[in-house]
Amino acid sequence: MAVPAGRSVAREQGATSDVVGAAVFVGCALWALVSAAGREGRPEGVLLALLAVAAGYTCGRIAGSLATARPADGATAEGGPG
């Protein structure tokens, strides 16, 4: 599959895992709501845990994108070594 000039190959390969992860996440949230609807259970604990997982995932994605944005040659903000 040809990648357009503006897109990276790494992002193309990571899109599938993003979609699968989102589908699993939504499935877990729906399972918590449906299983609590049939009885007097309260799904807040499970939904709070899912929120914590989503926040951790988001922080990891942001940190990963910031880590790859740094210059690879070790250049500093002052203009170079020493």
Per-residue pLDDT tens over the stretch 27-60 = 888 888 888 887 777 788 888 888 888 888 888 8
Yes or no: say if 73 and 52 are a contact pair by the CB < 8 Å rule.
no
- Taking residues 11-27, report their average pLDDT: 77
CB 1 within 8 A of CB 7: no
pTM: 0.53
Q: Is the pLDDT of residue 2 over 60?
A: no
